Structure 1
Amino acid sequence: MEIAISPHLLASANDYVAAAAVFPMRANNYVIEELIDWSRAPDDPIFRLVFPQPDMLQHDQLQVIKNAMDRDSSRIEMRDIVEGIRNLLNPHPANQKQENVPHVNGQPVEGMQHKYRETCLFFPTEGQYCHSYCTYCFRWAQFTAVGSDQQFQSKDVQQLVDYIKENRDLTDILFTGGDPMVMHAHQFSRYIDAILADPGTEHLGTIRIGSKSLSYWPYRYVTDPDSQEMLGVFEKIVKSGRHLSIMAHFSHPVELASPAVQEAMRRIRNTGANIRCQAPLIRGVNDQASIWAEMWRKQTRLGAIPYYMFVERDTGAKHHFEVPLARAYEIYKEAVSSVAGTARTVQGPSMSASPGKIQVVGITTVPTASGPEKVFVLRFLQARNPAWTKEVFFAKFDENASWLSDLKPAFGEKEFFYESQYRELVQRPGSSGQLFPLTGSMVARV
């Protein structure tokens, strides 16, 4: 396929190269040839999703890298410059390395995160990359230093099974990465077979797979050499009596338009699996209510379930992609009000912050003794302490706020209702940020 590159892109090529020195970039021929409308680049939404943009860096950061390129700096010097910039970009948001990794008998359980009582995350070693990388990805640091301590990963099948067996409150496990669907079917089946074969895991009712493969490489389920084998693994999970949910990342309606993705979704659903769709709200990509409404309608028509609208996390190029919470709420309400009830399964806008997933429920004005006060109405969709999900709480309205840390308690309160307990939780010696007990006495092999 011949691609016509606009003169504007060619003129600013060094800027894009500089941005790609800091942020990971990976694209395949499906994304390049079938998703990107090159006549619209650099304003095409998929181009913005896949190619690191110069404005993702602060002006002075961009200039430092370009200057280093101009003087033909050594690889070591360039690496030190790039790593210095990356370290300023909060590479592990929501304290996930400090607060989400479970500890058993004082030892960290490798390749796992367990933030919410019923759900744990597992990062298989074989799934430590994606078919293409999203510029907004909150796990961008996973892909910048392969083999470094930036990565969560494990291939210890027995440890995974033991952990599930010892934590009887677990009902869901999420395979994530990277992307588990870059794995060969026999690699993925190694984990699944071990879970299904052990009678001690009967309390695990749902297996989730977090994947962007439907968007960026739907041929994974259609023409790849092991596509039928992978679909067979899905069928095996469903036949075991478990629920299988593909947590699909669709950021724009164009990702749902090709015959390949629609056939892939049909084949997945034929295994008995469900497809749940989620994405963050990204400025310059999908920050219009009409885009979300169109996306939810298409997902529902294809038999998928609209699930989450996220707020861009406080990591990486947040300044470039973020949408203020007030605007995010308006986009969500306008979009959800224009679709049928079958598409109103979406929860959002939601911030995946350190204490939990916090939803902006509304914006309202409340009469008080000192006069009316405009507030955000908030609630936990998930929380480190499940009891927090029972509460509604309020923050002062701030039209510029884009993250939890920007918000202040309303009505003269000094802090939000959960904060003292959260501080106590994360300050406990050896704490992994969990309020729920880790039962049993398994010792993590590290």
Structure 2
Amino acid sequence: MIFNEGTRGFRAYTTKHLDDLLREKAGFGEEARLRVRAVATVLPFRTNAYVVDELIDWSAVPDDPIYRLVFPQEDMLPEADVSRLANLIRTNAPVKQLTAAANEVRMGLNPHPAGQLDLNVPKIGDEPVPGMQHKYPETVLFFPKQGQTCHAYCTYCFRWAQFIGEPDLKFASGDVDALVGYIRRHPEVTSVLFTGGDPMIMGEAVLRRYVEPLLDLPQIDSIRIGTKSLAYWPGRFVTDPDADDTLKLFEQVVRSGKNLAFMAHFSHPRELEPQAVGSAVRRILDTGATVRTQAPLIRTINDDAATWAHMWRRQNAMGMVPYYMFVERDTGPQDYFAVPLADAYETFRDAYAQVSGLCRTVRGPSMSATPGKVCVDGVTEINGQRVFVLHFIQARDPELVGRPFFARYDPTAVWLTDLRPAFADRFPFEPAAPVAA
């Protein structure tokens, strides 16, 4: 274990360490390392010593699921793009040329799905409020500027564009007063979700500056923190110098009468195994906070029912609440990671059938699409036509929540935009065709 009592002991690895890690840990040859580095010019890479030393089985690389979770793979991008970028690196092309080529590839990867830069941005008057999203009436998302990185990056992350150093693709704010002012103007807002990046990359003093002002807002009944820290750096709650102060802040939130919910991302059962994770979870739960778990269904990492059933049972035993199985979003290397919706439903159903009712708090498979969170409830046949049965868990239009609708069965569909309506000429979230004069 790499934790040092009384010190943070955190060591990050970034792109500049990638070649050495692949050579020393994985034993990759020069060409294989070069092609991985080529992918890393497009998609961000960051990990840390805990993940490298405690979670990855290097004897099973490149098939090890945790390795695939954090290290770029050469087939994440089209072969022609990888070869072009690799050749630029091999020939020591000017940095400006390599960056331009990488940016060209990035722009073809839908860096901001679901209208993140425009459709969700709240306004006070005509002025947009930076670093915030307000997609559903009751919930505001806030992106603290100091939380726009993570202890390690997931290769499937739908917010990868936040981490590549392009200012036009980032959204974040340090203006807590704007957040509070916006909420006061919107009495329908009852929940704030801090997200990023990872808010738990912030130290206690900075996190407190964002959280404490919300405790004086009677309309807010819950504060959520989206984080991968329990999987990637449990020492944040156990051995970091400000771990105790952070837990005291959580207790303060709970004492104020608000629910504090950890939205913890666990992508694979191995992330639950280290003793430090159990200690961190117990300490968080002892503050009165809840821990809800979620992750996307990712091909080559967790795309089988037994993995999910084991993960949900273990989470429940540790006191956490299984919450969501997501569908991989339509961004980044989606072609590499996506599981067809029909297969995703079967995986969810088969896993769901293996667990007790205590784990059946989980919902999915769910797509966080532009009109809302769409759940695939099943595949059935109606009037001789095979169809997907779907419903909105959340929606921009609250009238759509919980109402079933149907799509033609398509075994290759991986996202909502791949589907076509059944028994209607449009989906309920689509505008009606204009009436001819």
| TM-score, normalised via structure 2 length | 0.93
Shift of 1:7: 4.4
Preserved contact between residue 341 and residue 413 of structure 2 (Cα < 8 Å): yes
1:430 equivalent in structure 2: none
Deviation at 1:348, TM superposition (A): 0.2
Aligned mate of 2:161, from 111, 117, 141: 141
**Alpha-carbon displacement from aligned partner over 1:252-305 (angstroms, at most 9, x marks no partner):** 000000000110000000000000000000000000000000000000000000
Task: Give 2:407's match in structure 1, choosing from 376, 389, 395.
Answer: 395
Q: Residue 309 of structure 1 contacts residue 346 of structure 1 at CA under 8 Å; is this kept in 2?
A: yes
Could you tell me which residue of structure 2 aligns to residue 130 of structure 1? 150
Structure 2 residue aligned with 1:433: none
Query: What one-letter code is carried by the residue in structure 1 that aligns with 2:189?
Result: L
Counterpart AA for 1:48: R
Q: Determine whether 1:217 maps to 2:229.
A: no
Which residue of structure 1 aligns with residue 329 of structure 2?
313
1:364-403: per-residue Cα shift (whole Å, max 9, x none)?
A: 0011xxxx00000000000001110141100000000000
370, 374, 384: which is aligned to 1:354? 370
TM-aligned CA deviation for residue 202 of structure 1: 0.3
- CA distance in 2 between counterparts of 1:210 and 1:6 reads 31
The equivalent residue for 1:86 is 106
Is the contact made by 2:70 and 2:153 (CA closer than 8 Å) also made in structure 1? yes
CA distance in 2, matches of 1:288, 1:133: 22
2:261 aligned residue (235, 238, 245): 245
Which residue in 2 is equivalent to 1:439? Answer: none
Give, in angstroms, the shift of residue 8 of structure 1. Answer: 4.9
Query: 1:153 maps to what in 2?
Result: 172
Normalised to the residue count of structure 1, the TM-score between the two structures is 0.91
| Amino acid across the alignment from 1:163 | Y
TM-fit CA distance, 1:6: 4.3
In 2: Cα distance, 1:418 partner to 1:223 partner: 48
Q: Name the structure 2 match of 1:443.
A: none
Shift of 1:327: 0.1
Check if 1:195 corresponds to 2:219. no
- Which of the numbers 409, 417, 422 marks the counterpart of 2:428? 417
Q: Which runs of 5+ in 2 are unaligned?
A: 3-20
Distance in 2, Cα, partners of 1:339 & 1:68 = 50
Q: CA deviation at 1:157?
A: 1.3
Which of structures 1 and 2 has the larger relative contact order (alpha carbons within 8 angstroms, sep 6+)? 1
The aligned counterpart of 1:234 is 250
User: What is the letter of the counterpart of residue 298 of structure 1?
Assistant: R
Alignment of 1:29-428 (within 5 A): 29-145=49-165, 148-196=167-215, 198=216, 201-367=217-383, 372-411=384-423, 413-420=424-431
Tell me which amino acid in the other structure corresponds to 1:189: R
SS of equivalent residue, structure 1 residue 245: strand
SS at 2:381 equivalent:
strand
Letter in 2 for 1:192: V
Q: Which residue of 1 aligns with 2:14?
A: none
8 Å contact kept, 2:151–2:233: yes
Instruction: Find the aligned partners of 2:28 and 2:40 in 1 and give their Cα distance.
Output: 18
How far apart, in 2, do the equivalents of 1:279 and 1:390 lie?
A: 22
State the distance in 2 between where 1:210 and 1:91 align. Answer: 20
**Structure 1 runs, 4 residues or longer, greater than 4 Å off:** 1-4, 6-11
Root-mean-square deviation over aligned CA pairs: 1.5
Q: Which amino acid aligns with 1:269?
A: L
Long gaps (5+) in structure 1:
425-446
* Contact 1:238 1:271 (8 Å CA) reproduced: yes
Q: Report the 3-state secondary structure (helix = DSSP H, G, I; strand = E; otherwise coil) of the residue aligned with 1:22.
A: coil
Deviations 1:199-235 (A, max 9, x none): xx20100000000000000000000011111111100
The count of residues paired between Structure 1 and Structure 2 equals: 414
Match of 1:435 in 2: none
Q: What is the distance in 2 between the residues matched to 1:386 and 1:293?
A: 31
Decide whether the 8 Å contact of 1:4 with 1:38 is kept in 2. Answer: no
C-alpha deviation, 1:44, in angstroms: 0.4
CA shift, 1:191, in A, is 1.4
Change (3 A) 1:10 1:64: closer
Q: Percent identity?
A: 51
The structural deviation recorded for 1:417 is: 1.6
State the one-letter code of the partner of 1:158: D
CA distance, structure 1, for counterparts of residue 296 and residue 213 of structure 2 = 33
Going from structure 1 to structure 2, the CA distance change for 1:47 and 1:9 (only over 3 Å counts) comes to farther
Aligned partner letter, 1:401: A
Q: Match of 1:437?
A: none
Inter-partner Cα distance in structure 2 for 1:408 and 1:89: 23
Contact 1:125–1:153 under 8 Å retained in 2? yes
Q: Give the match's secondary structure for 2:410.
A: coil
Take 1:221 and 1:373, find their aligned partners in 2: how far apart are those partners?
A: 52
Distance 1:301 1:9, change over 3 A: farther
Cα separation, 1, equivalents of 2:87 and 2:368 = 36
Shift of 1:160: 1.0
Residue 5 (structure 1) shift: 3.6
In structure 2, C-alpha distance between the alignment counterparts of 1:36 and 1:9, rounded to whole Å: 19
CA contact (8 A) 2:393 2:402 kept: no
